[in-house]
Each structure stands twice: as C-alpha cells, then as structure tokens.
Amino acid sequence: MDCRKSTSSEWFLVYLAITAILPAVWSAPTFPNHQTKLDLENVVNVLISEGGKLYSEICKTPNLCRNSAEHLVRMDLKLPEITDIKSGCLSKNFDKKKCLPKIYRDLLSFQTYLDFLKESMPSSKNIIDSMQLMSVQLAKAVKDLEDMPSEDKEDTTPGITVADLRSNNQWSQNLTSYIILQSFKEYMEKAARAIRAVNILK
C-alpha cells in the first residue's frame, strides 16, 4: 500500500470537510443560532486533529519528544497558553468577557509559529497553510461572539519572530517544531472547551 497516496487522500477529504464547514461559520458574523456556534466547535476540532497528525509525524524523529530540554525551550518560545484562572477560560471560573478576547489575540499570535512550521516542515506546507486560514477565520468568528467587540487595534504579535525560531541545528529546529505543535494542540483543546462554555451560557 502506498502511504503517500493514502495520506494525500486523507488530506483531500479533510479539505472537503473544511470547505463545507467554514462558509456556514463565516457567513453569519453575529452567530444568530445555536447550530452556527456548533460549527465553530467543529472547526476547532479539525484544527486539533490536523495539529495532532503533524505532532505525531514529527515525533517519529528519534529521541525528540518528551526530551529533557523541552521545558526550557517552551519557556523561551513565548507560546500562547491557557493556564491560569486570570485568563477566564478555565471551566471553574469561566469569564466570557476575559476569555474570548484572549482567544482572539492568541489565535492571531500563533500565526508566527505556524509560519515557522511551514519552513521547518516544508512537506506539510499545504496542510499548515490550511491551518493558518482556519485559525485566522476562527479568531474573527470568536471576536464576533463577544458582546461588545472592541474596534481598537490590538497587539497580537507574540514578541518573537520566525527568525528567532530558526536554528542552524536540525535537531533544535525539530524540537522547536514539536513544542509548537504540542502547544497548539493543547491550546485548541482548551479553546474548544471555552467555546462550548459560551454555547452553554447562551
């Protein structure tokens, strides 16, 4: 069996699923019904799935995942996280007014990291392009879920550039890619729960 053909077919099916889901989400900026919000959850789940596949792929690199240097590198990368009560995104103290603006900013901040992944994982560029498109549009949709969306321009730069993430050492590049994918997947899982909480509150 040709794995490459199988993988290409899988991505094509994912693409078809995405193109079927996204118009319903983006064509109604005020999200007037419950079904549209459920579509948002579907988009998040696709991002989790695609990020998870890339994560599994890069973890095939020997001695890469669960490396002892992971914690230090993660701190240096300044990746968006949902880790404390102050974010308003954790279920125990969910606060829509705090959480939704944070998710909006964080999804846009992730674009720099996804740009790096396109360089470090060139064979997956098309997949990452799709992830970028979905995450940017999801950010806009999340902003529209706010009761009073701010019109002010917000700083969504992560404080790090693609050049900062690059390394002449291939193993270091792979480690950075692994941590980014792991963080993206974990972030989207928490974002999915937050969006679900918004649905319940409505």
Q: Give the range of the structural domain holding residue 75, as residue numbers without chain letter.
A: 3-201
* CATH (domain of 62): 1.20.1250.10
Q: What is the pLDDT of residues 142-159, one digit of tens each?
A: 988 887 666 555 666 678
Q: Which two tokens stand for residue 9?
A: 């077919």
- Count of structural domains, the chain: 1
Q: What is the pLDDT of residues 14-53, one digit of tens each?
A: 444 444 444 443 333 333 344 355 578 889 999 999 999 9
Q: What is the pLDDT of residues 99-121, one digit of tens each?
A: 999 999 999 999 999 999 999 99
Task: Judge contact between 37 and 198, C-beta under 8 A.
Answer: yes
Of 156, 174, 172, 194, give the one whose Cα is nearest residue 80.
Answer: 156
- This prediction's pTM: 0.76
pLDDT of residue 164: 92
